[in-house]
Structure 1
Amino acid sequence: MAKEGTTDGAWHGHGREVTITAVSTVAPALPVHEHRLPLSNLDLLLPPMDVGVFFCYAADPGDRNHHPAAVLKVALAKTLVAYYPLAGEVVANAAGEPELLCSSRGVDVAEATADGTVLQDLRLGLPDESIEPLVPKKKAGVMSVQVTKFKCGGAVVGCTFDHRICDAYSFNMFLVGWTVAARGGSAPPAPSFHRSFLAPREPAPLCTTGNLVDRLFVPVSRVPALPDTPAVNRIYRVSAADVTALQASAGSGRTKLEAFTAHLWGLYAKAAAALRRQPHSCCMGVVVDGRTRLRRDGAMSTYFGNVLTIPYAVMGTGALSTMALADVADDVHRWVAEAATGEHFRELVDWVEAQRPEPTVARAHLCRGNGDEDAMACVVSSGMRLPVGEVDFGWGRPAFASYHFPWPGGAGYVMPMPSARGDGDWVVYVHAAPEVVEVMEAESTVFRALEGSYVFDRAN
């Protein structure tokens, strides 16, 4: 089911070399009748952008004389039978909107070696240096994979997927199915592609200007020019004790994510104040999944696609700097809860329908204050459902895993996820302005450097 090819491409840097030795395209093991699958209205909220995720395996994945990609490709072909959209292509429909051509094109899989180094030498906290050559750049199709084997026998599995086709929740389902197939286990429940879950209401309710959807999203034609903001990428660790302390400081009834977001908002205020420009505003957004909000009966638990909204709020740095963490967390809770309802998601589906075919965008991405002035902005997306312990292709659980999302927007992006150690620690992927990273690293708690000993000592 794989079309083979080779390449002599190599990445050089920091004394290390990653060489692509072969590229093949893996199609579903069973033929899929070619058809077009429209994107849902919530898929259409996403611009073209790719998301990466990677897993580091310190244990030797089988025979050192064979590349671990062989096992992954056989399992991938089986898994793509159920997850056939990942083997398709994004094309334009008659209105110019993106939709999915389920063509069984397949997934490009690159096999690579890093013979000049060992996995333990990777400086994972600096992903621009360490991870960039290990997560593939998608050139075609919906998804691509790269499997890199290291001198020590360890391996890194990197995946990149088109965010318009699915969100992290969906891709997590695929990852579990893929690894189960590699181990020869029973297939988990099949994904659902029923767009009827996200169909607009008929007749459409009367839309009123100024409602929540209007405040959170905007047609692209009304988007002002965005600032060209430099950003750097980091991966930090947050100890379980620091997570617990943040939640306690945030007050009774506040979640860990709300407490973390409130703390992060305060750090952005410090960074904005350091820039010494007026006015000082900070915009903070949080990604909210709508599956359980739309269907409390669990009917959408296997839905594959995007079911996301991004509520946000703007506050001046002066106000943020004087507020207690509990007060900021109360504010975060208020505007997140306002969007975490089934009615909001239904209104969002209807709103996108009214705008089509014009694309739309979340205002949280736009780096704008309440008065349309420049603002430092960040979006927090929880990766706590990343099934780190389950991504076992037959050679053990990963020693480390993280999403990798150096997106092109001016807003920052921060994604906490569970540490592969399974001890309650978090791993946090950060894409942010250098000034924000400076503030994060200046504090003595919460955002801690990610040392190789923390990642690999327990894996050996």
Structure 2
Amino acid sequence: MDVQMISKQMIKPSFPTPSHLQNMSISLMDQLVSPRTVPHIFYYYYSANGNYQGAHSTEHVERQKSLMEKSLSEILTLYYPLAGRYIKENHLINCNDEGVEYVEALVNGQLSQILHGEIEPKELNRFVPDEVEESATSALFAIQINIFKCGGLAIGVRLSHRIVDAYTFSLFMNGWAKACKLGNINDAIVPNFECGILFPPIDISGYELPPLSKSKYKSDQVVTKRLVFDAKTISKLKADHQAAMRLNCKP
């Protein structure tokens, strides 16, 4: 399955970050995190009653691109650290609105091929942006929009774990999705970015963890597994969760 990159740009917040928020200290826990990035891929079918006209329909693609870019720029005004740069010597994120890396790619294949397991798991790496670096000049957050011939999307994301944990990341993706669907960021939930005040960084010169070395891990030592949940199973999981929540909320 061929993946052809067609563009790369920086998406910046739609409004400048206020001056009093431009220096965000990282927390002691984030300071101790080994420099590494975390990849994710989200898949979206093109839903128009199956009536998709032509491979990579220009009208459909342009509409999607416009909505995603605009809503991303808007949600970044709330998640401004993601558009900043890491200043290692000062243990802070310079929230300078330099932007997140945004890549667009065309895929010569069908989204169903991935969802039905016709593609080797290692091939999915092509749907995720290249590694991001923690530096004063490099983006800490990168997004790759993969557009399939069927009109479906695979949104690949790679981010620095030092600035985003799983909770913050899930809030960001939900906020971006709502902004894209509703056209505003009024309902977006924003976490507190002041953890560095509660747990300030300290001088740990000589004790910092080195970057993970890929050379230490052989390909035959890595096991990749694919878990598939059908619609019936997901519905049951949701029902079980809702039932548990109702029980826990009883006085």
* TM-score between both structures, scaled by the size of structure 1: 0.41
Q: Deviations along 1:36-87, whole A, 9 cap, x unmatched?
A: 2111001112111111111111224898323223211110011000100000
Matched, 1:127 2:121: yes
SS of 1:235's equivalent? coil
Alpha carbons 1:119, 1:150 under 8 Å: kept? yes
- How much identity, in percent, do the aligned residues show? 26
1:53 is aligned to 40
What is the distance in 2 between the residues matched to 1:70 and 1:26? 12
1:232 deviation in Å? 2.8
Provide closer, same or farther for how the CA distance between residues 196 and 104 of structure 1 changes in structure 2, counting only shifts above 3 A.
same
Matched, 1:110 2:111: no
Task: Specify the code of the residue in structure 1 equivalent to 2:9.
Answer: S
Q: Which structure exhibits the higher relative contact order, with contacts defined as CA atoms closer than 8 Å and separated by 6 or more residues?
A: 2
SS of 1:42's equivalent? helix
Provide closer, same or farther for how the CA distance between residues 57 and 199 of structure 1 changes in structure 2, counting only shifts above 3 A.
same
2:217 is aligned to 229
Which of 155, 168, 171 matches 1:170? Answer: 168
Q: Aligned-residue CA RMSD in angstroms?
A: 3.3
Q: Deviations along 1:268-295, whole A, 9 cap, x unmatched?
A: xxxxxxxxxxxxxxxxxxxxxxxxxxxx
What is the distance in 1 between the residues matched to 2:102 and 2:161? 19
Which of 82, 93, 98 matches 1:100? Answer: 93
Provide closer, same or farther for how the CA distance between residues 235 and 226 of structure 1 changes in structure 2, counting only shifts above 3 A.
closer
1:198 is aligned to 199
Which of 19, 26, 29 matches 2:4? Answer: 19
Unaligned runs of 5+ in 1: 1-15, 201-218, 241-398, 400-418, 426-460
1:143-182 equivalences in 2 (<5 Å): 143-182=141-180
Higher strand share: 1
Task: Specify the code of the residue in structure 2 equivalent to 1:141.
Answer: A
1:91 deviation in Å? 1.8
2:244 is aligned to none
SS of 1:424's equivalent? helix
Provide closer, same or farther for how the CA distance between residues 233 and 134 of structure 1 changes in structure 2, counting only shifts above 3 A.
farther
What is the distance in 2 between the residues matched to 1:165 and 1:37? 10
What is the distance in 1 between the residues matched to 2:85 and 2:9? 17
Higher helix share: 2
What is the distance in 2 between the residues matched to 1:226 and 1:104? 31
SS of 2:38's equivalent? strand
1:267-278 equivalences in 2 (<5 Å): none
SS of 1:82's equivalent? coil
Alpha carbons 1:126, 1:233 under 8 Å: kept? no
1:422 deviation in Å? 4.1
1:28-107 equivalences in 2 (<5 Å): 28-33=13-18, 35-60=22-47, 64-65=57-58, 66-67=60-61, 68-94=64-90, 98-107=91-100
What is the distance in 2 between the residues matched to 1:18 and 1:113? 6
Alpha carbons 1:29, 1:78 under 8 Å: kept? yes
SS of 1:160's equivalent? strand
1:424 deviation in Å? 3.1
Alpha carbons 1:125, 1:236 under 8 Å: kept? no
1:180 deviation in Å? 1.0
Task: Specify the code of the residue in structure 2 equivalent to 1:158.
Answer: G
Unaligned runs of 5+ in 2: 133-137, 202-206, 239-251
1:18 deviation in Å? 0.6
Alpha carbons 2:25, 2:197 under 8 Å: kept? no
Alpha carbons 1:127, 1:233 under 8 Å: kept? no
2:135 is aligned to none
Task: Specify the code of the residue in structure 2 equivalent to 1:187.
Answer: D
1:135 deviation in Å? 1.0
What is the distance in 2 between the residues matched to 1:157 and 1:226? 25
SS of 1:48's equivalent? coil
Q: How many residues align?
A: 209
Task: Specify the code of the residue in structure 2 equivalent to 1:166.
Answer: V
What is the distance in 2 between the residues matched to 1:89 and 1:142? 6
Alpha carbons 1:125, 1:234 under 8 Å: kept? no
What is the distance in 2 between the residues matched to 1:121 and 1:73? 27
Provide closer, same or farther for how the CA distance between residues 21 and 32 of structure 1 changes in structure 2, counting only shifts above 3 A.
same
